Structure 1
Amino acid sequence: MTVNIMGWGSHACLLNALLISLLGLTSAGDTLTSSQSITGSQTLTSNDSVFKLGFFTPQNSTHRYVGIWYLNQSNLVWIANRDQPLLDSSGVLTISKDGNLVLVDAKKTVLWSSNVSNTATTATAQLQRSGNLVLKDDSTGQTLWESFKHPCDAAVPTMRISANRVTGEKLRFVSWKTASDPSSGYYSASLERLDAPEVFLWVNGTRPYWRTGPWNGRIFIGTPLMSTGYLYGWNVGYEGEETVYLTYSFADPSSFGILTLTPQGKLKLLRYYNNKYVLKMDLGFSVCDAYGTCGAFGTCNEKSSPICSCLSGYEPRNGEEWSRKNWSSGCVRKVALKCERLKNGSQSEGGREDEFLKLGTMKVPDFAQRLDVEEDKCGTQCLQNCSCLAYAYDAGIGCLYWTEDLIDLQKFETAGVDLYIRLAYSEFQSIGDAPGHANKRGKRLIIGITVATAGTIIFVICAYLAIRTFHLRKGNATHSENQRVTDVQKPAKLDELPLFDFKVVANATNDFHLANTLGKGGFGPVYKGLLPDGQEIAVKRLSKASGQGVEEFMNEVVVISKLQHRNLVKLLGCCIEGDEKMLIYEFMPNKSLDAFIFDPLQRKLLDWKKRFNIIEGIARGLLYLHRDSRLKIIHRDLKASNILLDAEMNPKISDFGLARIYKGEDEINTKRVVGTYGYMSPEYAMEGLFSEKSDVYSFGVLLLEIISGKRNTSFRNDDQSLSLIGYAWNLWNEGSIRSLVDPEISASVSDSEDHILRCIHIGFLCVQEVAKTRPTMTTVLSMLNSEISHLPTPRQVAFVQKYHSSSLESSSQENQCNSNNHVTLTEIRGR
């Protein structure tokens, strides 16, 4: 039959709509009813058009499956029939008469079913905005089944991995078998050890492959990557006393992530913002991460050779195997503990008590048990238990102890906790005064008593003189301090800033719970909070024990309350009640810049485009402080940890506690030098002279750090250069400056190489030794944007060749390798 389309246009549209209704549903709907079905290329679509449910075929495969994907089919988050594929193009997803969601083939054979026993006469399935497919009883509204409770290999925000301590039921994630075969693979993830919850990865469902370490309310303490602050948003919760679950979410609703357990047993994280791809992280595992690499009582350290060693007081169980680097048999104790000796009738060592040896920055062993005692009682309780072999204490978990073989131990460079292992008293004769050993060797006791007698006399004399001097000065000092605080508070004008009630802030931070801690500095701790209206905040709380805080607190209120710029962190208000002083800021979900550029994994996420955007944003923020704001501000503590990143990785300058208002003077002289080594300009650090060129110097250091991915203070033990600046300057003069560029960006930006080298050139101009030769931030921004095409040749940059030539740092500080970048220094007296 030939149809006149022009004449039948309106009727054709009606007919088309009727046919679609009869066949099933349109791809725009988010709900499947009992009278509808999905087949062929039809899809169910969430009402924000982000998630779709429909049929798909993996690459290099002819099998068909029903799944849910985010944006496109390469982002599958759930599969219905992963172990029962369709072998042809047939297949219908529908709701059966008993209310179950079912997938049937051409022969009406049920390949997959929601398998709900509580049948419903009428039911509907809805694909929600979260990506969760929910089956509900129409008559009661009760949820019968949901895809989030039947996960596959991928986790998305608000999805749970859970375990029931009574029934033993667990929600596991199981990898694909191969990249083209979504059937249940060899690796799985589950929540274990529910008294101190950990996530385990398993091989074939029975052999542990990797574990996170226990949860302390903020991070998993055996996963150093979480300490960088990037893997944020995780939370362990409880449903009654039976079920424990782990979930994650993003502070910004525009952010989205998919965490996948790959067929190779790795973790892959994809991040999106406003439904646009942002970054990808592949989290592989090293040989030391593999469960039990060094066997019982053995510890693994990637920096050592060989990587496995026995704990102090232990020796290889099989020396021949150990020499061949087969460590699976582990280690055994050399000398029996006191309880074992008494049990065997031995009276050696005069019945002396066992003692504990401290091992720092450790991944604690598996099979931890918890004890509800304070930190100072944890070791005592362990010592009184003959079965207790080791203990550890974490403020978020409490007292942990072990009565079984110590397995899966690892030594970290950072993170981890202090682990105390129990040894026989005689073992300390060979160990000596090891770290954490509470008692001195026996033969030193008599010497100690003799020295103590003389020391007591000297102490009494010194104490008398000190107390007398203290009382003489106390009156004047107290008066000066009160006057100082009063003078600082006078110009604060707190009425210009919103004041928060203490109860509101306390409720927002869950009474300043440890799990809400974002960080801590000389000022005090910073907490994440959630206001009743749903706004996330960062609360900077002045520590009562802080010696520096009052002046810096009031200074920050004065300065930042008058500043408004997209590249400055926004102060929302403050709270001052009694001894409590708090600043409330907007919450920055990506935390600080140093967590990215100095971390070998995180800096992979910052390509050159993102890095330059950060550089330019910092420059614009500084230009506003120096030239465009109502108050002219010198920041004085510009560094990577004081650059916060919002959800779109835009930089915001923070921490104005050390900032100074100036009136256009060329230089200001101060006797109180404050700031951070490595970022201070030489005239400020050595002479107490600062100006806007001091911030320009700090910006230059930061620019070189962002390009290189190296800390300015990471060259402390280098024989040739004290700092990154010295190292870079040598490369510049040798004509090999390209080697300074972080390999993570140099390999993929051949077309941007000139731009990167230009930025390095600008960095050198900013760190020139003579302050007057450095450009202003106005000029810097013009240089960055190529408005100034010709760059002058940089003169001698400011760096010290040898550390001992500096009079600013004490010998005790010299030994704290690479710690300078994190410490804000105060009360350094300049000339």
Structure 2
Amino acid sequence: MGLLSKTNLLLLPVLCCFCLNLTVAIDTIRSSQSINDSEYIISKGSVFKLGFFSPENSTNRYLGIWYNNISVFTVIWVANREKPLKDSSGVLTISEDGNLVVLNGQAEILWSSNVSNSVTNSSATLGDFGNLVLRVDTTGLVLWESFQHPSDTIVSRMKLSTSSKKDQRLQLTSWKSPSDPSIGSFSSGIDPPTIPEAFVWKEGRPYWRSGPWNGQVFIGMPNWNPGYYTGFTFIDDTNGTVFETFTGLDMLHLSKIVLDWQGNVVHTYWDDGKEDWEVVHKNPEDECDVYGTCGAFGSCDLLSSPICRCLRGFEPKIIKEWNRGNWTSGCVRRTPLQCERMNNSIEEGKADGFLKLEMIKVPDFAELALDVNIEDCRKQCLENCSCVAYGYYTGIGCLSWSGNLIDLRHFTVGGSDIYIRLANLEFEEERNSRVIIPITVTIGVIAIASTAFFFWRWMAKKKRAMKSKSNESLLFDSLNDVKLQDLPIFDLEELAKATNNFDMANKLGQGGFGPVYRGKLHNGQEIAVKRLCRASGQGLEEFLNEVALITKLQHRNLVRLLGCCIEGEEKMLIYEYMPNKSLDAIVFDPVHQKLLNWRKRFDIIEGICRGLLYLHRDSRLKIIHRDLKASNILLDQELNPKISDFGMARIFGCNEDQVKTKRVVGTYGYMSPEYAMRGLFSEKSDVFSFGVLLLEIVSGRRNTSICDEEQYSGLAGLAWKLWNDDNIMALVDPTIWDPSFQMDISKCIHVGLLCVQELARDRPNVSTIISMLKSEILDLPTPKQPAFMERQISSNIELTQQGQIRSSICNVTTSIVSGR
């Protein structure tokens, strides 16, 4: 009996080996087995795991596959996407007909592999590449595999395919939301088979595309780094199906491409050091990446304003829509092509020509001509009346386009050449202009010489008219050393012509002073025209004040005044045009804020500081701006900041440190407490405004977007709370976050909090701020609680006796009434 007991004990471990214990690394489920909600299988190399899970912020249960050995829970495949389990009763098993099925507690089938051929002896194995494969046990024949039914993720060794047969295409489909894996609005795949491109579709319509594949890269993605895509290839099976295979980075399993719920194609790899997914590439990258933004025959350029322009030889189809910024209707041809002229029984004229466009994302709907060289490519297009463009590309060959050209954009680097077919008349106009220009220059010189005397008399008259108006402003009288005759005087007729009679299409914005228009002078110089609103209560004094001040100021970080215009009731200021508009138009915009990485934002912060230091200390006059905010920081072509809008600015005397006013002007949320409540302003008033602006630049959020007044008021209040919670990095705009810049970003937030302290004496001056930012001062003082004045001002504004808040009576929202 004792011997028998010992034998049984020896046999027990052997018997256990035949029992399925799914809490250990078993990679296969067989016909007689099942996986309950709390159980799972793991691939042989422990790379992937299959089991039941709940997405973030959801209690629903799904069968899925995810990475096993990383700290971030990352699902790559989901089975029952459209039929979630409401409890933990789910079971994965193999049914009697050999199919994989997911059952609920009532034994109802929520998902099935749906193999039509019934078998009695099948098993499913999870591989180390994340592929779940259902096979016949006896023959090894593959019945079904998860790689043939992808969710939102493609991993190494996985394929997407396109085919002339729609039911044979393999595509990714996005989740509906981060907490809902059911099929969302977006899908992604390859199309067409002849000239394969990567596409994202939104509800079946194109949303983004990569441009054609040339054997190494997608030619519509110049920033795409082929070094990150080892083995990213296309295979043609010669039966009308093209497969795209992805082998990822050298780290094989830890690289993936995801179609997220917002329609972004995001390629990431696992960074062991950071223990997180690192983004290699993301599309769409910007507004111009969205399919067809500029419509037919329109080209998108992110650096131009507006971003959409018609191709040469074309004009907007619906001008009113185009001027309003709705470009989807596209452009139409200005001059008919030769074939069209012949078909309409008009004189045949000269043959069409081709205009070469460089650094272009080639349009959609290309046609491939086989065995054609570059010379024949042009000839074939010219001989084909329906051909409107052609191009020849290494690795692809001759492409031609007929019909509308859709989804063109201009790149600053990379891109391809394309030749656009135009009527010969379009080229004759260019040739004629080469003759006309020298003739025009000669006539112009003669005209200028003959009219110089009359122009001098007219200009002298205008100067006297402007000077005679100086008695309308007490401030202007006090600045008797300002020589307005040194400022160029513009003619009203000239400005009306430059702005197309102040057309709304040229309107850049509007403030308390009045509207601002974009214009172009006869010499081609672009200008911004600031026009005084006749009904404005914020008018003549601010106008003359800005003229008087800015004519004395010259600094690379201050906007340059080119001249002014005073004719009758019209009063205008003419500035240099800033192509990137104001800082708030970029830093607060979800699309454009990506243009400002941390280094560029820090350069902008430093540039604003240098401009302020010049106003406060380095110029001949000591000037307090009084309305420093994001909308008054303009950005030039290289995104360099320039302080603008000096209508509220005031000059200090040599011995003055602080001045009291009965007329409080500025923008709530940027005003220092002593100025808003008592009318006291000084250098430290501008420092307070700068502190708020600095926090906005770092966070990418408007000061007025912080609405939780029960806890804090404004961005400074939020920053103070996060500072005390030792969680200040939560304030940082995610688009600029980089651990390598954490110390610099933290230092900037620290400086911002020092600038918004309650008492003016606690705030640093601008020269100290610059030293702090340049790390010339290493030990920064601990900030005190900032001034939470916004709520007090709003509730007590009618009770303030020390200062009167002045507002404009223009029919516009002005900067001195509410924060922007």
* TM-score normalised by L of structure 1: 0.51
Secondary structure at the counterpart of residue 80 of structure 2: coil
Q: Structure 1 residues 162 and 223 mapped into 2: Cα distance closer, same or farther (>3 Å)?
A: same
Q: Return the offset for 1:172.
A: 1.2
Q: Return the offset for 1:18.
A: 6.0
Residue 31 of structure 1: aligned partner: 28
- CA–CA separation in structure 2 for the residues paired with 1:743 and 1:211: 26
Letter in 1 for 2:76: V
- CA–CA separation in structure 2 for the residues paired with 1:442 and 1:241: 59
Q: Structure 1 residues 604 and 323 mapped into 2: Cα distance closer, same or farther (>3 Å)?
A: closer
Structure 1 segments unaligned to the other structure (5+ residues): 1-7, 435-439, 445-599, 607-714, 719-738, 755-831
For the pair 1:366 / 2:359, whether they are aligned, the reply is: no
- CA–CA separation in structure 2 for the residues paired with 1:147 and 1:422: 47
Q: Structure 1 residues 393 and 115 mapped into 2: Cα distance closer, same or farther (>3 Å)?
A: same
Q: Structure 1 residues 99 and 432 mapped into 2: Cα distance closer, same or farther (>3 Å)?
A: farther
Letter in 2 for 1:130: F
Letter in 2 for 1:289: D
Matching of residues 92-103 of structure 1 within 5 Å: 92-103=91-102
Residue 82 of structure 2: aligned partner: 83
Residue 708 of structure 1: aligned partner: none
Matching of residues 332-481 of structure 1 within 5 Å: 332-349=332-349, 352-372=350-370, 373-432=372-431
Residue 742 of structure 2: aligned partner: 749
Matching of residues 15-30 of structure 1 within 5 Å: 25-30=22-27
Residue 240 of structure 1: aligned partner: 238
Q: Return the offset for 1:158.
A: 1.1
Matching of residues 295-334 of structure 1 within 5 Å: 295-334=295-334
Contact kept, 8 Å, 2:190 with 2:199, in 1: the verdict is yes
Q: What's the CA shift string for 1:523-574, capped at 9, x where partnerless?
A: xxxxxxxxxxxxxxxxxxxxxxxxxxxxxxxxxxxxxxxxxxxxxxxxxxxx
Q: Structure 1 residues 344 and 140 mapped into 2: Cα distance closer, same or farther (>3 Å)?
A: same
Contact kept, 8 Å, 2:228 with 2:248, in 1: the verdict is no
Secondary structure at the counterpart of residue 186 of structure 1: strand
Secondary structure at the counterpart of residue 291 of structure 1: coil
Q: What's the CA shift string for 1:682-701, capped at 9, x where partnerless?
A: xxxxxxxxxxxxxxxxxxxx
Q: Return the offset for 1:261.
A: 0.9
Q: Structure 1 residues 227 and 19 mapped into 2: Cα distance closer, same or farther (>3 Å)?
A: closer
Matching of residues 587-666 of structure 1 within 5 Å: none
Secondary structure at the counterpart of residue 140 of structure 1: coil
Secondary structure at the counterpart of residue 254 of structure 2: strand
- CA–CA separation in structure 2 for the residues paired with 1:115 and 1:410: 44
Contact kept, 8 Å, 2:358 with 2:418, in 1: the verdict is yes
Task: Report which stretch shifted further, 340-349 or 357-366.
Answer: 340-349
Residue 57 of structure 1: aligned partner: 54
- CA–CA separation in structure 1 for the residues paired with 2:432 and 2:216: 34
Q: Return the offset for 1:193.
A: 1.7
Letter in 1 for 2:367: Q
Contact kept, 8 Å, 1:266 with 1:282, in 2: the verdict is no
- CA–CA separation in structure 1 for the residues paired with 2:344 and 2:745: 74
Q: Return the offset for 1:267.
A: 2.3
Secondary structure at the counterpart of residue 147 of structure 2: helix
Contact kept, 8 Å, 1:314 with 1:333, in 2: the verdict is yes
- CA–CA separation in structure 1 for the residues paired with 2:122 and 2:96: 9
Identity of aligned residues (%): 44
Q: Structure 1 residues 154 and 432 mapped into 2: Cα distance closer, same or farther (>3 Å)?
A: farther
Q: What's the CA shift string for 1:91-143, capped at 9, x where partnerless?
A: 11111111111111111111110000122220010101111000001122110
Contact kept, 8 Å, 1:362 with 1:412, in 2: the verdict is yes
Matching of residues 265-304 of structure 1 within 5 Å: 265-272=263-270, 277=276, 279-281=278-280, 283-285=282-284, 286-304=286-304
Letter in 1 for 2:188: A
Q: Structure 1 residues 183 and 328 mapped into 2: Cα distance closer, same or farther (>3 Å)?
A: same
Aligned CA RMSD, in angstroms, stands at 3.9
Q: Structure 1 residues 207 and 387 mapped into 2: Cα distance closer, same or farther (>3 Å)?
A: same
Contact kept, 8 Å, 1:102 with 1:114, in 2: the verdict is yes
Q: Return the offset for 1:287.
A: 1.3
Q: Structure 1 residues 407 and 361 mapped into 2: Cα distance closer, same or farther (>3 Å)?
A: same
Contact kept, 8 Å, 2:99 with 2:114, in 1: the verdict is yes
Q: Structure 1 residues 320 and 743 mapped into 2: Cα distance closer, same or farther (>3 Å)?
A: closer
Secondary structure at the counterpart of residue 93 of structure 1: strand
Q: What's the CA shift string for 1:749-783, capped at 9, x where partnerless?
A: 329999xxxxxxxxxxxxxxxxxxxxxxxxxxxxx
Q: Return the offset for 1:25.
A: 3.7
Residue 186 of structure 2: aligned partner: 187
Residue 256 of structure 1: aligned partner: 254
Letter in 1 for 2:54: T
Secondary structure at the counterpart of residue 377 of structure 1: helix
Secondary structure at the counterpart of residue 224 of structure 2: helix
Q: Return the offset for 1:330.
A: 0.9
Q: Structure 1 residues 125 and 13 mapped into 2: Cα distance closer, same or farther (>3 Å)?
A: farther
Contact kept, 8 Å, 1:210 with 1:289, in 2: the verdict is yes
Secondary structure at the counterpart of residue 294 of structure 1: coil
Residue 203 of structure 1: aligned partner: 202
Secondary structure at the counterpart of residue 288 of structure 2: coil
- CA–CA separation in structure 2 for the residues paired with 1:65 and 1:605: 40
- CA–CA separation in structure 2 for the residues paired with 1:358 and 1:279: 39
Task: Report which stretch shifted further, 333-342 or 222-231.
Answer: 222-231
Q: Structure 1 residues 249 and 302 mapped into 2: Cα distance closer, same or farther (>3 Å)?
A: same
Contact kept, 8 Å, 2:390 with 2:419, in 1: the verdict is yes
Contact kept, 8 Å, 2:91 with 2:103, in 1: the verdict is yes
Contact kept, 8 Å, 1:259 with 1:267, in 2: the verdict is yes
Secondary structure at the counterpart of residue 429 of structure 2: helix
Secondary structure at the counterpart of residue 426 of structure 1: helix
- CA–CA separation in structure 2 for the residues paired with 1:416 and 1:339: 30
Residue 692 of structure 2: aligned partner: none
Q: Structure 1 residues 44 and 602 mapped into 2: Cα distance closer, same or farther (>3 Å)?
A: farther
Contact kept, 8 Å, 1:226 with 1:232, in 2: the verdict is no
Secondary structure at the counterpart of residue 342 of structure 2: helix
Matching of residues 721-736 of structure 1 within 5 Å: none
Contact kept, 8 Å, 1:225 with 1:231, in 2: the verdict is no
Q: What's the CA shift string for 1:366-392, capped at 9, x where partnerless?
A: 100011201122111100111100001
Q: Structure 1 residues 14 and 291 mapped into 2: Cα distance closer, same or farther (>3 Å)?
A: farther
Residue 177 of structure 1: aligned partner: 176
For the pair 1:214 / 2:212, whether they are aligned, the reply is: yes
Secondary structure at the counterpart of residue 108 of structure 1: coil
Contact kept, 8 Å, 1:227 with 1:415, in 2: the verdict is no
Q: What's the CA shift string for 1:734-760, capped at 9, x where partnerless?
A: xxxxx9xx9765774329999xxxxxx
Contact kept, 8 Å, 2:283 with 2:289, in 1: the verdict is no
Task: Report which stretch shifted further, 174-183 or 221-230.
Answer: 221-230
Q: What's the CA shift string for 1:338-359, capped at 9, x where partnerless?
A: 111111111153xx11000000
Q: Return the offset for 1:270.
A: 2.7
Letter in 1 for 2:743: S
Which entry has the higher C-alpha Rg, 1 or 2?
2
Q: Structure 1 residues 57 and 14 mapped into 2: Cα distance closer, same or farther (>3 Å)?
A: farther
Contact kept, 8 Å, 2:197 with 2:212, in 1: the verdict is yes
Q: Structure 1 residues 331 and 168 mapped into 2: Cα distance closer, same or farther (>3 Å)?
A: farther
Contact kept, 8 Å, 1:254 with 1:274, in 2: the verdict is no
Residue 164 of structure 1: aligned partner: 163
Contact kept, 8 Å, 1:279 with 1:605, in 2: the verdict is no
Q: Structure 1 residues 14 and 49 mapped into 2: Cα distance closer, same or farther (>3 Å)?
A: farther
Contact kept, 8 Å, 1:24 with 1:38, in 2: the verdict is no
- CA–CA separation in structure 1 for the residues paired with 2:136 and 2:598: 45
Q: Structure 1 residues 168 and 337 mapped into 2: Cα distance closer, same or farther (>3 Å)?
A: farther
Q: What's the CA shift string for 1:764-805, capped at 9, x where partnerless?
A: xxxxxxxxxxxxxxxxxxxxxxxxxxxxxxxxxxxxxxxxxx
Secondary structure at the counterpart of residue 233 of structure 2: strand
Letter in 2 for 1:89: S
Letter in 2 for 1:81: N
Secondary structure at the counterpart of residue 270 of structure 1: strand
Q: What's the CA shift string for 1:386-436, capped at 9, x where partnerless?
A: 1100001111100000012101111111121101000010111223499xx
